A and B are shown apart, each in its own frame.
Chain A
Amino acid sequence: MIIQKQKPFEEILKALDGEKKVFIFGCADCATACKVGGEDELAEMKKKLEEKGYEITGTYVLDTACLTGEVRKRAKELKDKLDAADSILVLACGTAVQTIGDTIEKLTHPGVESLFSGTVMRLGKYTEKCRACGKCILEETGGICPVTRCAKGLLNGPCGGYRNGKCEVNPDQDCAWLLIYDRLRQRGKLDWLEDVKDAKDYSTASSPRSYTWERPEEAGKHE
């Protein structure tokens, strides 16, 4: 999921400066799991903004804020409340801010920082495992991604910067390549590390990216 944290309230206030009426969107998906954009957080934000003199024309937690269809449908249902607002504060990821902003003709403000696509280790503790590079190499690395989990994204084994199994960048962070080394050793696959990898093709990771899914029976027709 997209791991998120709320922006400082002062920064949100600064963004809303000069406006009077605000609508607040949240998201029941990642933003709720990250405690930034669920029912509780929207109620809290509403209260804090009202204390600062803002009128909240409405709040709504979208099921999935990155679905254009969902946003369009709710926008129709909430039309009056949205029309009454000067702007929309989005307590969900940057994709949500833009899905909403591109669908509803109203100024949108981001209320959270989108941090990374990550795993929930436990509530409140998140780590990054995949950065969606577009060409998965987990098959070759024992299921541990060095593109994401090595601070340098190295493909051909560790640098000389590991100490006590940890990364030179952050002593709390495991060296991804030592994890890969240990896992392959346990599985008797250390010889996999002997395979020299070519420079990675980063064209699959070049933003902005888009993708069009085709039904299997249609796939290939246009090739």
Chain B
Amino acid sequence: MSNLRDSLASGTFVVTGEIGPPKGTNVERMFEEAEHLRGKVAAINVTDIQSSVMRLCSLAVCIRLKQMGLEPILQMVCRDRNRLALQADLLGAAMWGIENVLCLTGDHVALGDHKAAKGVFDLDSVTLLKAARTLAAGKDMAGNDLDGTPVFFTGAVVAPASDPVEPQIIKMRAKVAAGARFFQTQAVYDPQQMESFMKAVAGLNVPVLAGIVLLKSPQMATFMNENVAGVHVPDALIQEIGSVDKKERKKKSVEIAARLVKQMKNCCNGVHIMPLGWDSLVPDVLDKAGV
């Protein structure tokens, strides 16, 4: 069963959170962060070797979340595994009752800490979605019958702040055609941009959760503007987070995020909050946003 699927189907405003596995086996802090999200979110994304920086694997963390009574969204990227391994891991996830899978292409290895690695990209986000759907129909990608059929609720990502945005929208249609049942967006800081994006994709009839990355400092905002594709933090927000002392940053960060959620509440189906370690602030953000 997927609480995420049921929540989205009910039409309520849906909130998802996110945790990132550590580089190493000290997982206590990550699971503490997850505890802050308990009861506040429909499901929690677990990133898959995020930014191509080697870390503990996503599936193992998803299994633990499940055992803790928290609902995971297994992120799967196509960078590190070929179609055999991806299908095998999807079946493994299904064995543990993990249904929510977010299918992504994945960052290039050149962006991470193992630059000499061989990038796989046997599949892409679209064909990974198709692979999950094929498995759920009782076949593997080679057309062989499965002994036992998994159930998945698959989603994908889109970057509304991309320039140009049209190729993103065309690809979003391809993802829906390939089986994407929900979308989480890259971080959005411009509610008007989100609103016009939502108008452009309204015909797809697929729920979209706007991405909210907690702004921690003006340096972080500038870094994202310079280095993260498809993210743009407006100058006004950079000034706003920089206008307070370091001690007051968390409070200000909550205020900004809550305001963004409020402003986007009416145009999208929910929000996906990426706290980047500041998970303890998420309940506050949601309170102040009135969701």
CB neighbours (8 Å) of A200 from chain B are: 122
Give complex CA distance A199, B131 in Å: 9
CB neighbours (8 Å) of A151 from chain B are: 108, 110, 119
Least CB distance, B43 to chain A, in whole angstroms: 21
Give complex CA distance A194, B83 in Å: 23
In this complex, the interface size class of chain B, counting residues with CB under 8 Å from chain A, is 35 or more
User: Which of A21-29, A109-117, A135-143, A153-161 lies at the interface with chain B?
Assistant: A153-161
Least CB distance, A196 to chain B, in whole angstroms: 5
Give complex CA distance A181, B162 in Å: 14
Interface assignment of A17: CB less than 8 Å from any CB of chain B: no
Least CB distance, B26 to chain A, in whole angstroms: 30
Known A-B contacts A168-B111, A196-B177, A199-B122; the reply to A160 vs B127 at CB < 8 A is no
Interface assignment of B166: CB less than 8 Å from any CB of chain A: yes
CB neighbours (8 Å) of B83 from chain A are: 199
B126 with A156: CB separation less than 8 A:
yes
Instruction: Tell me the A137-183 residues at the B interface (CB within 8 Å).
Output: 151-164, 168-170, 177-178, 181
CB neighbours (8 Å) of A168 from chain B are: 107-108, 111, 229
21 interchain pairs, CB-CB under 8 A: A152-B79, A155-B127, A156-B126, A157-B126, A158-B167, A158-B168, A159-B125, A160-B159, A160-B168, A160-B230, A169-B110, A170-B110, A177-B167, A181-B166, A181-B167, A193-B170, A194-B173, A198-B127, A199-B83, A199-B131, A202-B122
CB neighbours (8 Å) of A177 from chain B are: 167
Q: CB < 8 Å: which of A155, A178, A197 contacts B167?
A: A178
Q: CB < 8 Å: which of A157, A169, A193 contacts B111?
A: A169
Q: CB < 8 Å: which of A152, A193, A197 contacts B105?
A: A152
CB neighbours (8 Å) of B260 from chain A are: none
CB neighbours (8 Å) of B170 from chain A are: 157, 181, 190, 193-194
Interface assignment of B252: CB less than 8 Å from any CB of chain A: no
Per-residue interface assignment for chain B, residues 81 to 110, with 1 indicating a CB less than 8 Å from any chain A CB and 0 otherwise: 001000000000000000000000111101
Give complex CA distance A168, B108 in Å: 8
CB neighbours (8 Å) of A157 from chain B are: 126, 167, 170-171, 174
Least CB distance, B123 to chain A, in whole angstroms: 5
A152 with B122: CB separation less than 8 A:
no
Residue of B nearest to A158 (CB): B167
A156 with B230: CB separation less than 8 A:
no
Q: Which 10 residue pairs across A and B have the least CB separation, nearest first?
A: A157-B171, A156-B126, A160-B159, A199-B127, A160-B230, A152-B121, A161-B229, A159-B105, A163-B229, A169-B110
A154 with B124: CB separation less than 8 A:
yes
Residue of B nearest to A160 (CB): B159
Residue of B nearest to A191 (CB): B170
Q: Which of A157, A168, A170 has the most CB of B within 10 A?
A: A157
Least CB distance, A175 to chain B, in whole angstroms: 9
Least CB distance, B203 to chain A, in whole angstroms: 13
Give complex CA distance A31, B120 in Å: 30
Chain A: residues with Cβ within 8 Å of the partner, total of 29
Least CB distance, A104 to chain B, in whole angstroms: 33
Least CB distance, B176 to chain A, in whole angstroms: 10
A152 with B108: CB separation less than 8 A:
yes
Give complex CA distance A162, B178 in Å: 23
Interface assignment of B164: CB less than 8 Å from any CB of chain A: yes
Instruction: Tell me the B225-264 residues at the A interface (CB within 8 Å).
Output: 229-230
Residue of A nearest to B131 (CB): A199
Q: CB < 8 Å: which of A153, A162, A181, A196 contacts B126?
A: A196
Give complex CA distance A169, B119 in Å: 12
B178 with A196: CB separation less than 8 A:
yes
Give complex CA distance A153, B119 in Å: 10
Known A-B contacts A194-B174, A202-B122; the reply to A162 vs B127 at CB < 8 A is no
CB neighbours (8 Å) of B121 from chain A are: 152-154
Give complex CA distance A164, B226 in Å: 11
Instruction: Tell me the B111-136 residues at the A interface (CB within 8 Å).
Output: 111, 119, 121-127, 130-131
Least CB distance, B206 to chain A, in whole angstroms: 15
Least CB distance, A153 to chain B, in whole angstroms: 5
Interface assignment of B45: CB less than 8 Å from any CB of chain A: no
B127 with A158: CB separation less than 8 A:
no
Give complex CA distance A6, B177 in Å: 48
CB neighbours (8 Å) of B119 from chain A are: 151-152
Give complex CA distance A153, B162 in Å: 20
Give complex CA distance A157, B175 in Å: 10
B164 with A156: CB separation less than 8 A:
no
Give complex CA distance A164, B225 in Å: 12
Give complex CA distance A159, B105 in Å: 7
Give complex CA distance A170, B229 in Å: 12
